[in-house]
Amino acid sequence: MYLDARVSQLCDVCTETSAVEQVSSPIGNAFESSAGRLGNDTLNRVVSDLKQIREEAIMALTSPTIPVTVHRPSIQLPEHIIPQEDIIAALRDHFTDAPDLERGLELMRHAGVTTRRFVVPLERLLATEPFGVRNGRYSREAVRLGTLAARQALTDARIDAHEVDYLVVVSCTGYMLPGPDAYIAQELGCRPNIRRTPIQQLGCAGGAAARGIVKSCG
């Protein structure tokens, strides 16, 4: 009678929440078939463990937020490496009449940056080109580099693109509509119903904003 009561309690623990309701029948059947071979101490431990599992399941289902952790960032950089001093010299030659030019260049010298990365050589960077040409280049390169970084991140995490539920893309260089997130998701092969959020024109604060959005997405 005591063992039967503990088995009944065990099944109750499994079925109190819908989150674990699907496992109640297999667990109940397994213990009913072996109840006569289990001692009271064993059943007490099993009941205690399942109660803990139940509490963790309820907490996971009802929690308004999800943990946000950065795991092994995947970094993809543009091909052209340009020393900071070369950039400063080129800007001085290009913007000869700019007010407070030397003050701005002095700030660049004290930025702690030794090199910068660009998708084009320095001479082309300062060349006169229409906005449409520059923005078109941005659209292509943002998607290319973003896709490369995302694929490497997926490989490092050992998951497939269709397992991703939410994609947040941060960029402040140019303008796209749809944003780069839509094209990157397509290139990766993500599910059509994936949630996407593009964050643009936030500068250096974009990364912090992205983490805040992911944490609150629930």
Active-site positions?
Answer: 204
Q: Which H or E run contains 13?
A: helix 2-15
What gap in Å lies between CA 31 and CA 46, rounded to an integer? 10
CA distances from 36 to 5, 132, 186, 198, 210 (A): 12, 78, 57, 59, 55
Q: Is 100 left (phi over 0), alpha (psi -120 to 50) or beta?
A: left
What gap in Å lies between CA 117 and CA 81, rounded to an integer? 5
SS3 79: coil
Q: Which residues pair with 13 in a beta bridge?
A: none
Residue with tokens 């280049």: 137
Distance, CA of 35 to chain centre = 46
Three-class DSSP labels, 141-188:
HHHHHHHHHHHHHHHHHCCCHHHCCEEEEEECCCCCCCCHHHHHHHHH
What gap in Å lies between CA 124 and CA 28, rounded to an integer? 71
